[in-house]
Amino acid sequence: MNSWLILIVAGLLEVCWASSLKATAGFTRAWPTLFFITTLAGSMFLLSLAVKQLPVGTAYAVWVGIGAAGTALVAVLFLGETMTPARTFFLGLLIISIIGLKLTTAPTG
């Protein structure tokens, strides 16, 4: 499987675990905690696969960027957080940065 696709899925799993963190209530609720642990482990595992072919610095930055942007969007769409013009602007910059890293990175090994 393509290392970039693996990295994107890892980033989407990061959105899942980060978005579910509040629902764990400090890891006192079993099902949200199990979901958190499972998606966290899956995200880390896929990130470890992606760095076999991609530079670790780029892969990590893209993974974090997907997670940060995706979690912010989930929070706005589903958790009642507000989307201000400034927040929209900076999330746009983050997404542009992720795309830029993808376009300027050659696979390794």
Q: Please answer whether residues 80 and 51 qualify as being in contact, where contact means their C-beta atoms are separated by less than 8 angstroms.
A: no
Per-residue confidence (pLDDT) for residue 50, from 0 to 100:
96
Average pLDDT over residues 3-15: 97
As a three-state string, the secondary structure of 7-46 is HHHHHHHHHHHHHHCHHHCCCCCHHHHHHHHHHHHHHHHH
Q: What is the largest CA-CA distance in the chain?
A: 44
Residue 78 CA: distances (Å) to CA of 33, 47, 109: 19, 26, 40
Per-residue confidence (pLDDT) for residue 105, from 0 to 100:
85
Strand, helix or coil for residue 106: coil
Per residue in 16-48, pLDDT tens?
999 999 999 999 999 999 999 999 999 999 999
Per residue in 54-90, pLDDT tens?
999 999 999 999 999 999 999 999 999 999 999 999 9
Per-residue confidence (pLDDT) for residue 109, from 0 to 100:
62
Is the model's pLDDT at 106 over the cut of 80? Answer: no
- This prediction's pTM: 0.89
Average pLDDT over residues 2-11: 96
d(CA 85, CA 62): 23
